[in-house]
Structures are given as structure tokens and as C-alpha cells.
Structure 1
Amino acid sequence: MVALTRFVTAGPGALLPALFLSGCASVAEYPRPFYPAVDVVATGETTPVGSGNADAADDPAIWRNAADPAASLILGTDKKAGLYVYGLDGKVRDFVAAGALNNVDLREVRPGFVLVAASDRSDVAEPKIALFRLDGATGKLTSLGVRSFLAAGHAPAEAYGFCMGKAQAPGELARAYVVLKDGTVAESALEEDDGAITARHLRSIRFATQSEGCVVDDRTGLLYVAEEDVGIWWVDVRAAVLRAEPFAMVGKEAGLVADVEGLAIAPQGKDGGVLVASSQGDNAYVLLHLATGMPSGRFRISAGRFGATSDTDGIELVLGDFGANWPGGLFVAQDGDNAPQAQNFKLVSWQAVVDAVGEKP
């Protein structure tokens, strides 16, 4: 193993060095390892997505109904067709045929206004953000339109990953981060103008290879990005210049097996807790201490009443009471092989994960 210097672009002409460990050959040239992990079982699942015989289900988001946790909702993308809304019983509450939506996130930007946004890859040359409003009482989505955000004349680019962070300036509803398939992460301000929501591109940072999963820790202002064959990086989005720093790299030390896919956060206190990552290469999920990037546990969703998961892309986690089956929080994972049915999303009690790995809630 040798230390190599890696360059990440954070704007026109800017090269930022970061260190990581790498061998002389790519990850794909070696047999994938299979690291130990504890088993948990799902306590629910969603109705399969409508696109059968395809890699279609991709990324979930969770809206917790604070007044009635059992009435909370799950959103999930069918990247061939659109966006689903599910109840905790897994049944479909709504579906919007919105095209090739890949990753989804949501924010309650003000009381009663749940803003849902997704990366729209319907046009592989023109990345867009699809916007919706979620009615928590009915589970219905209202389309707010699709927004381009890059300047005219940009090079062809395909939208891929997506996540949102809190607003950072007056007039903003949220910050949007679109991970393009070439490794670029574009930051935009979602703003409200005379009742319409616009996406104003602010700046970008580029990773060397394909990236997708991302999540923002609003407490610290850190954006975490999964570069699939390399590992997880953090970026301080409060800083004047975006700089990528290594958080946890693929390999035994972090317990990550490429591809590294979906990311989610279990916060604790002011800035503690864990980052959860989909270690797709060995069908596991890794808990990484936010303070150090070191693993505190690994788990797999094993066969049970609702089946195991494999080849997981997107994940989501929200802490809090979701009813009897999810008293300490809800973890949702895309299942890449739900045969003989189409792909779907599995629901897991976060308390069951905490108990299994011994991690403090």
C-alpha cells in the first residue's frame, strides 16, 4: 500500500490535494472481501415498484409525522418511472409519473410545507432538479416543476445523486446538492420567488470518479459524499472554498467494500453520532463514528418474514418514535433483489440495529 496524492476540483482551475491509500490496481481487479456483520431482520417492506425486471428502485426519504408517528410516510424513487409515497404499512399512498428520478430528499422548510426534491436524469445531457410538495395528511404529492441549474452552454452532464441541507441565507428554502455522474457535486440555493421555487447554482466541487450517495449534517455544515470505488469524503459547505477531506476509505480499516452507495446520519448531541453507509460490495451497512470515521459496527438485513436485502443503493434513517415496530427510529434500505417481484424498500427498526451492534442510540 502506498500513499498517493489525489486531486479534487473545487472550481475553475483549482486543484485541492487530499491523501488516501491505494494499491497499484483498481478495486475491480481484486475479489471483493466479505467482512463480518451482525444480522437484523426487516419489520416491514414497501409494495414493489412498478418497473419489473429492471434495476429500478433506488433511493428513499422519510417524513416523520411528529403529531402521529404511525402516520409517517416514506418516499422512494423508481428511476425508470417516477416517485412513490408509501405508508408505514408499505402500501402506496401516491405515485407521480415524473420520469427518471434517481435520488430523493425532503425538508419541512416551514410548518406545513414539506419540500421534496429529486435528481432528474431524464435528460442525460441536462441535469435537473424535480420539485414537489408533500401533503402529510393525505400522502399526496403536488409537482412544483423541474428546474435546470447549470449555466447555459455547460458540458453535457447527467444528474445522479442528490441530497439537501438547511438554508444558509435569507430567502432560501434549502441548499441542494446534485451529484453528477462524472463526480461533480453542484451546490444550488433553492429559493422562493413570487410563489415559485428556483434553483440558483452557487459552486461545484469535483471528485475524480463516479460518486452518488450524499448527506448533509446540518449541525456541523458537513456534506458527506460517497465516491463509489474510493470511499467517503467530507466537505465543509460553510467554508468560502469547498475542500474535500477523506473520511473513510474503502478497505478493511473502515469496513467498506465498493461500491459505497447510500449515506445516512444518526445524530447524537451537538455533533456526535454515526454515519451509516451502504457497503454494497458485501451487502452490508457500516456505522462510522462522525468524529473519527472509524467503524463502530456492521450489520446486514437477513432473511426473515420480509426477506433479506442485497445490492443496496439508497438508504435513509430518521430517529424518533415511529410506532410499535420502530420505537427508536426507522431505517429504510433499497433492496436490489426482491425476486420474484420487482425491487422494493425494506423497513428496519433502528433500535434493533443499535441493540445488535452495541452502538449507543
Structure 2
Amino acid sequence: MFRAANFVIVPACLSLLLTGCATELPIAERIARATPAVSVVARGETVPVGSANQDAADDPAIWRNPARPQASLIVGTDKKAGLYAYDLEGKIRDFFDAGRVNNVDLRADISVAGTPRIVVAASDRNDIAQAKIALFTLDPDSAKLTPLGTVPAGSGEAYGICLGQSEGTLYAFMVLKDGTIHQVALDFAGPSPAGQIVRTMKLATQSEGCVVDEKTQRLYVAEEDVGLWRFDARPTGPIVPTKIAAADGKNIVADAEGVALAEGPGNARYILVSSQGDNAYTILSASDETYVGRFRIAAGTYGATEETDGIELIVGDFGPAYPGGLFIAQDGIQAGGAQNFKLVAWDDIKAAIGLAP
């Protein structure tokens, strides 16, 4: 600690001596310093979550109805209260009071007691000392969420979650708030679900968003103040991570939050990361993990998005409004006081960035 005359300068603030001891730059300056981002506008939005005037909406998941794309469904978390099911018009179809569930993912055609079902998994942080995975089925017609039960996922606070299949087994990757990642093998053969931790990985600091690329068996995890990491997602694979993008204030501005995966034309594949610090989204090529571009959801018919936590993207036909795919982003600031999710056409993002149609 440096002392001079009648004032004290904390060492951590020495580098900010000329600009003031601030923990973070104003949003306008963060945007100005970051790599430029193109603008798109949302084509829809969901009804706000029920927890008003709180940081509540967090993470979405999408089920695409292959037979009737316009009847596809969205599941979103209110991390103070539970899970919502929405239709593509953003209307609430169901709500389940699951308490403090943070992130969510889903997979279709999972055998539950011998019957193919849509399985929804949420990170359950009702007990911050013992992480759990809350499991549900989603009815494709009624949009009703039915609880299956919870399975333990290690000691610590549940935070992020994503699902991935490997050799016929569905795995949940539970990201604890301290950066610990447990790979949990899920079993739905019995009267209630079971889970077994088969492998543990670790990042140094607070982490949350994740996604599994099932084709390459890669797991991508965002360490909020550090950047995006890649792990081997196979249950017997190595546990050493590789950093593929830094939260350096340029391409990704901390916090690095939600992570999503897109399949493009041919073999083109993309990783998307919520660059929460400057209200933008970063796209990387999944093939070589290089930077592709950045976009921001600006105000239009619907509002802009700010301070986005969770994101999701599914490529495919979702009907006339979203013919090439659907991107969903949590909106952290809503004029009405309750957060919601914005719906954006993947075609609009590709056109703005200049990706192949």
C-alpha cells in the first residue's frame, strides 16, 4: 500500500490512478473499446417472468417441433421461482414452481421408463451447499412440465448446466459457481431418475454458461471474468481445458455468460457467447475456434437486450417468422420491471454478420 501526504492508494488501483479507482468502466466506454458489433432486432419476446424488479429471468432452452415447427416450445428459468414453458408467440403455456433453478437445457427422444420423452434438466440451487439436477418431462402438445425428481450433482452451489449424449448415455454437465464441473451420467430406466458423477473438471473462478457439441464431443464453458474454455466431453476423456477466447474487453467483454452452438450450411458450425459487459454476442467458428463476428440486439418493434445471461440457438425451420433458426437471449433490463427473453431470427444474424445463407 502506497501512502503520501494525507491519502492512501490501494495497489489494485495504481493502474487506474489517472482515471479513478473504478471496478468497471461505464457501459458506453466498454462498448467503445470493444470490437464493433452489427445490429439486429428481435422478431418476438416472451411474457416477462413473475419475479418483478429482480434479476430473475436467466436461461432459455428450445424444443423444435419437427412435424409442426410453429408449435415449437421454449423453456425459460425464473431463477427466483421456477420454470416457464412458452410458445413461439412468447405466451406462457405452463409454469412449474421449482424454486431457485438457474440454468436449463433439454433433449428430445430420451427413453424415460421405456417411453421417448422430452427431458428438461435445470440446475437446482435451492440448497446452495448441495447442487442438484432438477429433471422434468415436457409434453409437446400441452407444454406441461412434469417433475421426474432430482439427482445429486456434488457439493457446492449449482449454477450452469448443459446436456450431451455420448454412446447412448445422456450426461448433464453441472457447472458449480466456483468453476467445478461435474459430468453426471443420467439414468431414466427406474421409477425415478438416478445420476452418477463420472468425471470432474475445474476452472479457477466463477463459471456458468456451457454447451456440448455432440458431433465433436466437445464441451464449452464460460469462465465469467476469464473467457471461453474447451474440454473433452467424453466420459473417459482428458480433463485439462484449452482456452479458446479471452474476455479481454475486445471480442468478449466480461462477463462471459451464456454459450450456444449453431450448425450452419454444410459443415459450418458456430459457437456463440454472451458478451454481457457490452450487451453483445460473439460468434466463433467451431471448426478452428477463430473469431467470426459480433452482433447486438437493438431496439425495434421490441426492445433491445442488455446484460444478457443465458442464450440458446437452434438451427432449423421454426415457421414463417424464424425459417432458418431461432436465437433466444435473456434480457436483463426491462422497462416494466420484470425480465424476459427476446426472440431473434438466425437468418437476420447471418445476414448482418455476412455468414453464408
Shorter-chain TM-score: what band?
Answer: 0.7 to 0.9
Q: Is the 8 A contact 2:166 2:214 kept in 1?
A: no
The alignment partner of 2:130 has SS state of: coil
Corresponding residue for 2:292?
A: 296
In structure 2, distance between residues paired with 1:233 and 1:48 = 32
The alignment partner of 1:127 has SS state of: strand
In structure 2, distance between residues paired with 1:240 and 1:37 = 36
Q: Is the 8 A contact 2:34 2:249 kept in 1?
A: no
In structure 2, which of residues 304, 309, 319 is the aligned counterpart of residue 308 of structure 1?
Answer: 304
Q: Is the 8 A contact 2:210 2:258 kept in 1?
A: yes
Alignment of 1:176-195 (within 5 A): 176-195=172-191
Distance 1:323 1:192, change over 3 A: same
Corresponding residue for 2:8?
A: none
Unaligned runs of 5+ in 1: 1-23, 151-155
In structure 2, which of residues 203, 222, 225 is the aligned counterpart of residue 207 of structure 1?
Answer: 203
Distance 1:46 1:201, change over 3 A: same
Corresponding residue for 2:4?
A: none
Q: Aligned-pair distance for 1:291?
A: 2.2
Corresponding residue for 1:116?
A: 120
Alignment of 1:333-348 (within 5 A): 333-348=329-344
Distance 1:30 1:46, change over 3 A: closer
The alignment partner of 1:351 has SS state of: helix
Give the count of matched residue pairs.
328
The alignment partner of 1:149 has SS state of: strand
- What is the aligned-residue RMSD (CA, Å)? 1.9
Give the letter for the 2:99 counterpart.
Answer: G
Q: Aligned-pair distance for 1:270?
A: 7.7
Q: Aligned-pair distance for 1:325?
A: 0.8
Moved more, 237-246 or 272-281: 237-246
| Residues 1:103 and 2:103 are matched in the alignment | yes
Q: Aligned-pair distance for 1:167?
A: 3.7
The alignment partner of 2:215 has SS state of: coil
| Residues 1:244 and 2:241 are matched in the alignment | yes
TM-score by length of 1: 0.87
Corresponding residue for 1:168?
A: 167
- Aligned residues: percent identity? 53
Corresponding residue for 1:318?
A: 314
In structure 1, distance between residues paired with 2:254 and 2:15 = 14
Give the letter for the 2:73 counterpart.
Answer: L
Q: Is the 8 A contact 2:264 2:315 kept in 1?
A: no
Unaligned runs of 5+ in 2: 1-13, 17-21
In structure 1, distance between residues paired with 2:212 and 2:15 = 31
Alignment of 1:62-73 (within 5 A): 62-73=62-73
Q: Aligned-pair distance for 1:35?
A: 3.0
Corresponding residue for 1:14?
A: none
Alignment of 1:255-274 (within 5 A): 255-268=251-264, 272-274=268-270
In structure 2, which of residues 270, 273, 283 is the aligned counterpart of residue 287 of structure 1?
Answer: 283
Give the letter for the 1:228 counterpart.
Answer: E
The alignment partner of 2:342 has SS state of: strand
In structure 2, distance between residues paired with 1:107 and 1:167 = 13
In structure 2, distance between residues paired with 1:243 and 1:196 = 33
In structure 1, which of residues 119, 128, 132 is the aligned counterpart of residue 132 of structure 2?
Answer: 128
Corresponding residue for 2:11?
A: none
